[in-house]
Structure 1
Amino acid sequence: MFVSPPGYQPIYSPVKHTYLGPIYGGLREGMSIYIQGTIPKHITRFFINLICGEYESSDIALHFNPRFDGWDKVVFNTCQNGSWGLEEKIHRMPFRKGEHFEMVIIVNFQGYQIKVNGIDFHTFQHRIPMEQVRGLQIADISHFVFKPVPYSNIIPGGMFPKRTIIIRGMVPYGAHKCVILRLLAKSLVQEGIVVRNSMIGGNWGQEEREMTFKSFPLSLRCQSVVETRGLRCL
């Protein structure tokens, strides 16, 4: 039977395919994060993030992203203010599909030392101070949900400040409009712009067209209190 030492806070059997939780007290030199599990046979990618907040949109101090894509590799990176840094690619794969693994992230002065099944894999040097890390995020990217359009659904709990919705997808060839949202309106692909608007009582407001449409994923973050309760994509 496993008995955790004082101050050790294990998480057993988190929600399948995704996990987002706090690191109480943050990180400091000499700490280690221990992760064990089994790699699904159907997986294409997964990631482990050390994040600087409590939300998916928080800065990422460590992005650990194994990719099983025929040129198996592990990508390391950081993300600050929504912008990704320079990738570090290690063209070795320490995991095997269908097999159990044990991984340790050791926090030291130099960076994050990664060990898989007891073997040193790579040390990712600090780009963001370790003291800013407040949470851990793990997700199986192959299990992100893709819905056919048109799509409409409620937003459980509604929108509130700092809540973020991330939309991933592909714009079909020849499309004129790719997205219509309850709170954002539509993206005009051929014109390469995003039209932002709102509708109250069946009447559209004044359009905003300052943004330039590039590609997915699209991140929507609430900055103030709103009454939005649903999402619609067309």
Structure 2
Amino acid sequence: MCSIIDESPVAIGNGKVGTETQLSTPFRGVLDVRFEPGQTLTVKGIVGEKARQFSVNLHSRTADFSGSDVPLRVAARVDRAKIGLNSMVNKVWGKEQRKGHSLKPGQPIDLRIRAHDKEFQIIIDGKEFKRYAYQSPLQSITHLSIDGDLAIQQIHWGGKVYPVPYETGLPHGFPIGKCLKMSGTPSLRKGGRFEVNLLRKNGHIALHLNARFDEKAVVRNSLEANEWGNEEREGKMPFERGHCFDLVIANEANHFGIFVNEQHFANFVHRSKPEDIFGLLIQGDIELTGLEME
């Protein structure tokens, strides 16, 4: 049982907390918008060198364990190589659901909690770990707490249910210096493909990024005057079927910088005016879970 912390909780909107400096535990946060299906809470950090356990908890009304409901508790028992899922409703803890999972002290962890219509999906280091049915209403979640032996590097909350194909305009364009950030999970379908297209006003494509699992390649190209240019396909396939990823496309002065899971993947030299981008189209064998401009 964690002790009650009197410190004021940190407000967490749809965005990130702690991208430049580590956040310490115990951590207490308040969500300024209620949890809804399609949203994902991401916690990235480093497991302590002498870690025994840490937990990520979603609360109703207060970020403590004084009696308010705890719709979800993810308890990582590093010393036992197990992770337990549980909830407290009306001051009574349920039966913990445990599953083996090896967490190495001193190593990074990417923990994601995605809300669906009837259950949470727990994702660890890009791979689904377990699903946990709601024991109390999703909309009752108002607070977050993190305790134990975890050095928090980033907390991110956002997303929604996106239909695929997904096409949207970019009202303010895609100016140089901005980054397009996308999260998703490629389908398990063998030989699947998905693509991300940056659209110009005239309907042409400034950047076509096509992940082809059947070819084990990520093809980059552009469409100008209704003709495709020369393909670029250097680099190993950075995506895995069934594993979630973070993709960042940075609009630089001379090129698009492409990053996958915080690692540089490729550059694509501009073949048209970089400021002439006003739309985005994502389609193919993918579940889109997050999208934002920064």
Q: Which has the higher strand share?
A: 2
Is this contact kept in 1: 2:26–2:148, CA < 8 A? yes
Question: Against the structure 1 CA distance between its residues 85 and 29, is the aligned structure 2 distance closer, same or farther, given a 3 Å change threshold?
Answer: same
Is this contact kept in 2: 1:65–1:76, CA < 8 A? yes
CA distance in 1, matches of 2:42, 2:86: 20
User: Which position in structure 1 is the counterpart of 2:109?
Assistant: 101
- For 1:193-208, what aligned pairs fall within 5 Å after superposition? none
Q: Secondary structure at the match of 1:10?
A: strand
User: Which position in structure 2 is the counterpart of 1:10?
Assistant: 16
User: Which position in structure 1 is the counterpart of 2:31?
Assistant: 23
Is this contact kept in 2: 1:37–1:101, CA < 8 A? yes
The superposition leaves residues 62-121 of structure 1 with CA deviations (integer Å, 9 ceiling, x where unpaired) of: 01001123x32111100123221111011223x321111212111001311011111111
CA distance in 1, matches of 2:107, 2:99: 20
Structure 1 runs not aligned, ≥5 long = 1-6, 143-234
- The one-letter code sitting in structure 1 at the alignment partner of 2:16 is P
Structure 1 residue 141: deviation in Å?
6.4
Supply the RMSD in Å over aligned alpha carbons. Answer: 2.0
User: Which position in structure 2 is the counterpart of 1:84?
Assistant: 93
> Identity of aligned pairs, percent?
21
Structure 2 runs not aligned, ≥5 long = 1-12, 151-294
Deviates more, 1:13-22 or 1:33-42: 13-22
Q: Secondary structure at the match of 1:131?
A: helix
**TM-score of the aligned structures, taking structure 1 as reference length:** 0.54
CA distance in 2, matches of 1:97, 1:113: 24
Is this contact kept in 2: 1:21–1:54, CA < 8 A? no
Structure 1 residue 14: deviation in Å?
6.0
Q: Secondary structure at the match of 2:16?
A: coil
CA distance in 2, matches of 1:110, 1:80: 17
Is this contact kept in 1: 2:63–2:145, CA < 8 A? no
CA distance in 2, matches of 1:96, 1:120: 18
Question: Against the structure 1 CA distance between its residues 131 and 113, is the aligned structure 2 distance closer, same or farther, given a 3 Å change threshold?
Answer: same
CA distance in 1, matches of 2:37, 2:43: 18
Q: Secondary structure at the match of 2:139?
A: helix
Q: Secondary structure at the match of 2:15?
A: coil
Is this contact kept in 1: 2:48–2:149, CA < 8 A? no
Is this contact kept in 2: 1:62–1:78, CA < 8 A? yes
User: Which position in structure 2 is the counterpart of 1:64?
Assistant: 74
Residue 74 (structure 1) aligned with residue 83 (structure 2): yes
Question: Against the structure 1 CA distance between its residues 45 and 119, is the aligned structure 2 distance closer, same or farther, given a 3 Å change threshold?
Answer: same
Is this contact kept in 1: 2:78–2:104, CA < 8 A? no
- The one-letter code sitting in structure 2 at the alignment partner of 1:9 is G
The superposition leaves residues 185-219 of structure 1 with CA deviations (integer Å, 9 ceiling, x where unpaired) of: xxxxxxxxxxxxxxxxxxxxxxxxxxxxxxxxxxx
User: Which position in structure 2 is the counterpart of 1:35?
Assistant: 43
- For 1:38-49, what aligned pairs fall within 5 Å after superposition? 38-49=46-57
**TM-score of the aligned structures, taking structure 2 as reference length:** 0.43
Is this contact kept in 1: 2:29–2:63, CA < 8 A? no
